[in-house]
Amino acid sequence: MSSLASFNNFIGGLTINKSQQVFGALFDGSLFREEDGNVSNFASGLPPTLEELAFDQNNNLFVASFTEGTVSKISPEGSVTTFVSGLSGPFGIAFTVDSLIIGDNSNNGNGPGVIKQATMSGNVTDLFKSIPGRIIDLEVNPTAKSFFVANQGDFFTNSGRLSAINIISNNQINTFATGFLGGGDAFPREIEFDSSGNLYVADAQKLYKISKDQLTTIPEPTSVFALLIFGIIGAGSALKKKKYHRLQEVR
């Protein structure tokens, strides 16, 4: 591993454009860009507590501000405008063909989660509600009209609802995976599909990969695998194969 840059602010989210440039959001309301090992400021003056990012088909970058309840739009030249406002606590965002999907959270961000749909003109409607717990990230499969949601659970109310990855399809929500083992903040923070349909999941301390062949974790820097993964370890940490195959079907 090598370090490209250090920041005095929390990195809320990362994304990569078609040119393989890496863009990141900082909690101070700025965005950075990495290309060929060089890191530079891309945009500033955005609302604070920036979280997830997503590109549209025209290479405009969108980013959610959790505390301000907004989604900002940044042009390829770095010009900033407010795309959507009046949200309660947006974290994850992702694009379908013609709209932006937003993982919003009611009660000033404490949940339950609501998936909203914003047209490209900025009109927002509720698409699915409510998700028990707080939405942290989401991925969209537009052809199957399904969503994979990283759910923090009821972290603040301590009601016993566990963190999980949920699948939403045909207006129904099902649990896909539980049993995240990353320490005190053991909930799925980032989910991302690669081009082969493998699902990568990051919690507080570990990186997981769910593939069609096996369920595993990425080796830690010491080359020692985690002892506990998504396997059938107990009632609270099981990933059933039939639910994994559902991933293959909807992808």
228 Cβ neighbours under 8 A, 6+ residues apart = 179, 181, 237
- Report pLDDT digits (tens) over 44-77: 999 999 999 999 999 999 999 999 999 999 999 9
Q: At 100, list the tokens.
A: 């932006």
Q: At 2, list the tokens.
A: 């090598």
Output DSSP code: residue 163. P
Residue 132: per-residue pLDDT:
81
Residue 157 is which amino acid? Answer: T
Q: Which residue has the higher pLDDT, 43 or 212?
A: 43
Residue 234: per-residue pLDDT:
26
Residue 194: per-residue pLDDT:
78
Q: Which residue has the tokens 């989401």?
A: 138
Mean pLDDT across 36-42: 91
197 Cβ neighbours under 8 A, 6+ residues apart = 212, 247, 248, 251
- Report pLDDT digits (tens) over 196-211: 777 888 876 777 887 7
Residue 230: per-residue pLDDT:
33
**Residues 38, 44, 49, 51, Cα dihedral to 10°:** -50
Residue 185: per-residue pLDDT:
64
Residue 152: per-residue pLDDT:
85
Residue 193: per-residue pLDDT:
81
- Report pLDDT digits (tens) over 215-249: 555 544 433 333 233 332 222 333 333 333 333 33
Residue 182, pLDDT > 90, answer: no
- The answer to whether the peptide bond before residue 112 is cis (omega within 30 degrees of 0) is yes
Residue 49: per-residue pLDDT:
96
Contacts within 8 Å (CB) and 24+ apart, 191-200: 191/137, 191/138, 191/139, 191/148, 191/150, 191/165, 192/139, 193/139, 193/251, 197/247, 197/248, 197/251, 199/148, 199/247
What's the mean pLDDT when you consider all of the chain? 78
Residue 98: per-residue pLDDT:
86
Mean pLDDT across 144-163: 70
- In this prediction, what percent of the chain has a pLDDT beyond 70? 75
Residue 181: per-residue pLDDT:
57
Distance of CA 100 to the CA centre of its chain: 14
Most confident range (mean pLDDT) of 24-33, 132-141, 156-165 is 24-33
Query: Alpha-carbon distance 85 to 175, whole Å?
Result: 30
Mean pLDDT across 156-181: 75
